[in-house]
Amino acid sequence: MDDRQFDEFAVLCGELLRDFGWQDHICLTWCEGIDVREAAHRLGADMESGAPATVADVRVAVWAAARPSRYDLVVLGKLGTWTLLVEEMGMLGATSDVLSALSRDGRALNVHWHVNMSGRITYAVDGEIVSCFQTSTPEEKLGIEPGSLSAYGGGLRFGDGSEMFERRASALLLARRLTGERLTREWLDSIHSMYFIPS
């Protein structure tokens, strides 16, 4: 990917983040080889709470505080051969325990950021955290194989010399390269499954 192609991708990402209100906070977790209900089970969801919903439906519920405080509210949906977990306010998918559970006998990738952090990427395989780094300091990698994501990093803009929107676009592009699946506006507008996760 050359600079022009990256810049075009970054513009599209910026529009998506703005339209869905993700500039300040989002937590996205891709898990391979398991369906929505299995992913919900591994998250510890209240399985009876599953209901059809779009990402926008959950955003409205979260911001309106239309849920008991003892629950996290998440969206799960199939994206190709992967299942994607979307958290508007929570960060369950960013925790080691959850990533280990979601990657058991497979792979899981988490991308998240919030108002006080430009972004972090964590990759788990077979229940182990393989690689983890903050997008502002990509040279400081942790995990049992810290360099395992390097093959997907060509042309990406991480580090202090990059702008925050470039790091976030780079994180989403890395996820697309690893999973082979595009996160589109159409997917985000579609009906998926909403679950309550007891805190």
pLDDT digits (tens, 9 = 90+) for 44-100: 999 999 999 999 888 777 666 555 556 788 999 999 999 999 998 889 999 999 999
The stretch 25-37 carries a mean pLDDT of 95
Q: Provide the pairing of β-strand 51-53 with 82-87.
A: unpaired
Closest Cα to residue 158, out of 144, 145, 172?
172
- Residue that wins the pLDDT comparison between 86 and 117: 86
pLDDT number for residue 54: 94
Whether pLDDT at 131 is above 80: yes
Q: Which amino acid, 150?
A: S
Whether pLDDT at 24 is above 60: yes
What whole-number distance in Å separates Cα of residue 122 and Cα of residue 104? 15
pLDDT number for residue 2: 76
Query: Quick check: 189 and 54 in contact, CB under 8 A?
Result: yes
Instruction: Dig out the tokens for 12 from the structure.
Output: 């599209």
Distances (CA, A) of 108 to 18, 59, 128, 136, 177: 26, 24, 10, 21, 13
pLDDT number for residue 65: 54
pLDDT number for residue 116: 79
pLDDT number for residue 63: 64
Whether pLDDT at 41 is above 90: yes
Whether pLDDT at 14 is above 80: yes
Instruction: Kindly tell me the burial class for residue 64, based on how many C-beta atoms sit within 10 Å of its own C-beta (0-12, 13-18, 19 or more).
Output: exposed
What whole-number distance in Å separates Cα of residue 56 and Cα of residue 169? 21
Whether pLDDT at 23 is above 90: no
**Percent of the chain scored above 90 by pLDDT?**
69
Mean pLDDT of all residues belonging to the chain:
91
Query: Quick check: 111 and 172 in contact, CB under 8 A?
Result: yes
pLDDT number for residue 70: 67
